[in-house]
Amino acid sequence: MNDNAREELRREIENMRANGARRQELSQHACKRLFFDFGIRPSIAAVREFTQTGSASDIPKDIEAFWTRIRATSRVRIAEGAIPDALQERAGELLGQLFAEAQLGARVSLDAERAEMQAAIDASESRLRDAAVRHTAIEEAFQRSEARADAASARAAALEAELSALRGRESDAHGGLQALINRLERENDALSKRLEHEQTTNADLRDRLDELQGELRQNTEHYAGQIKDAVREAERRVKPMLVELDSLRTMSATYQASVRDAGQKEFEFIQQLSASKTRADRLEVQVRRQSDEIDALARERDSLQSRGAMSDEVGRVFCALATQGRLSADELAALATQVDAHVHVPMRCPVCESGEPELSQREDEYDLSCPECAHTSGTASSKLAALAGFSVKERAEAT
């Protein structure tokens, strides 16, 4: 018996109750539908499930009345007419067999429904186990997330403390650095304005050059078109009019003179173009020089900023340690260019003691060397590392 049949039977009983049917009628209708339509033997639980009325003693009476009515109806039908006793016995056996078959079908349906319910229970238990596993995994992930959050909070507190210290040191050098930055910004603005003016002038020259080139191209195309038209006209008229050969030669000479004039104008335009290009190159050299000045000012600004991040006393201490060779390669690499703003080139070479060392820079590499004795520090990644390599006693003696 499926769910749709159950709902249909419940609706029928509710309609009967709404129409004023009594308990006995509701129970009889439920027993009749269960037995005849669904092949289910009426029971107290089944009848009670659909009627929702009657006590434990009333429902068995209603079921017994249903069976009594069925037996009475069967006897009346069998007793009608002249039916032999043997046929009546066979009819009774047939009814008993039908009842047994109905019970067997009901048991098979019950077993099938039990199997379906058991499969549904097993699937629900499996989903419950999967949900428990997922719940455990989620709890573990939540605990790991809390641990990471605690570690992140501790790290944030440490970084805030370090940031406060850095801000304190930064505020000490902020005054002088701000004035220097303002001066550099003013100079940078002035240079930028000069650069924009030169760029505007260069753009005007380029526009004039483009105009001259366009005019030259138009004149050349015009004269070339005139020459082609004259040649075509001469070819058309030379056959029927040989008399006009002299006049055509005169016209050809005229066109050649026009071509020479066009060549002369082209030469003048080329000279103007060359002069414009020379002025543009001169302006480009000037712009490059100003760009180098801007880069030098930017490096000076970066040097001042890096010097502001570290006090002069600390810088001098690091320079002294590097000169004495007391800083290892790992320490020099860790310091990098932080102390370069405080590094000063020594006045005398430690080998010849007469040459004045020179510091050279190629891209991001530094080299400190003596022009007198060719003593050098070798390629280094910072000024401090070059000073350390130049001042090491063993290296100086080997050189």
pLDDT of residue 398: 46
Tokens of 233: 């006209």
Candidates 229, 233, 227; CA nearest to 247 is 233
Mean per-residue pLDDT, 248-254: 77
Candidates 351, 361, 338, 362; CA nearest to 390 is 351
**Cβ(22)–Cβ(38) under 8 Å?**
no
pLDDT above 50 (res 81): no
Residue identified by tokens 């092949």 is 39
36-59 pLDDT per residue, tens: 777 778 888 888 888 877 777 788
- Spatial CB neighbours of 51, under 8 Å, sequence gap ≥ 6: 13, 23, 26, 27, 30, 59
The amino acid sitting at 261 is: D
Tokens of 235: 């070819």
User: For 324, what's the count of Cα atoms within 13 Å in the CB-facing half-sphere?
Assistant: 8
Higher-scoring residue by pLDDT: 57, 76: 57
Q: At what angle do helices 44-51 and 3-18 cross, to 10 degrees?
A: 60
Mean per-residue pLDDT, 169-187: 78
Helix-strand-coil split of the chain, %, nearest 5:
80, 5, 15
pLDDT of residue 7: 83
The ranges assigned to domains in the chain are 3-137, 175-308, 312-398
Mean per-residue pLDDT, 106-126: 81
Burial 300-310 (b: 16+ CB within 10 A, else e): ebeebebbbeb
Measured on CA atoms in the order 176, 180, 185, 187, is the torsion positive or negative? Answer: positive
Q: How far does CA 3 lie from the centroid of its chain?
A: 52
Burial 135-166 (b: 16+ CB within 10 A, else e): eeeeeeeeeeeeeeeeeeeeeeeeeeeeeeee
Say how far apart CA 51 and CA 137 lie, in whole Å: 48
Category of 2 on φ-ψ map: left (φ > 0), alpha (ψ -120 to 50) or beta:
beta
Using pLDDT thresholds of 50, 70 and 90, give the confidence band for residue 77.
very low
Q: pTM here?
A: 0.26
Query: Is domain 175-308 in CATH 3.30.160, yes or no?
Result: no
Say how far apart CA 347 and CA 351 lie, in whole Å: 12
Query: How much is the mean pLDDT over the chain?
Result: 77
Say how far apart CA 91 and CA 81 lie, in whole Å: 14
